Amino acid sequence: MKTVFLDRDGVINRYPGDRLYVTSLNKFRFLPKAKEALALLSKKGFKVFIASNQAGVGRGVYAQTTLNKITSVMLRKIEKSGGRIDKVYYCTHKKDAGCICRKPLPGLLKKAAKEFKFSLKNAYFIGDTIRDVLTAKAAGSRSILVLTGKEKLKNQVNWEVKPDYIFKDLLTAVKFLTQ
């Protein structure tokens, strides 16, 4: 099964900045060509999952109902553009909660693999941070770093791990995967 995991903030929608969260629907903005990329993945038969830390819920910065509303509208707009997300997995725990689902631990990916019965070794994880790369490595998956969010290429001398691939944005990464 062709499988792709995507981080949300900085990959699908604009990165809100350090210590900031997408706390309302009007702060959620798709990145250019993100919906086109998701439609291409769907057209090419990929299973597509979102795996994202959303600790703002656990911290009380915004409510679970707000996250649910943002997710619902995001999914509807993706579908309207011809894309499909098979399932969204969020870790809403605070950083110090010690949960196994908070990235860079691979709990969200393992949960999807168990639920949908596929091997993570053939999956890709597309993210915008080295934490996402670490998540992919911990799950035994391949990592793709996109430069539309938190991480910048100039910081690579400080990276504790190197991604398998680096692309400027989600569409470029998806074109690579679907060629």
Q: How far apart are CA 64 and CA 117, in angstroms?
A: 28
User: Could you tell me if 62 and 16 are in contact, meaning their C-beta atoms sit under 8 angstroms apart?
Assistant: no
CA proximity to 132, closest of 102, 174, 111, 157: 102
| Residue 7 a catalytic site member | yes
Single out the catalytic residue among 9, 128, 132, 169: 9
Give the 3-state secondary structure of residue 175: helix
| Residue 9 a catalytic site member | yes
Q: Which residues contact 123 (CB under 8 A, 6 or more apart)?
A: 3, 4, 5, 109, 113, 139, 141, 142
Single out the catalytic residue among 7, 128, 132, 169: 7
Catalytic residues, by residue number, are: 7, 9
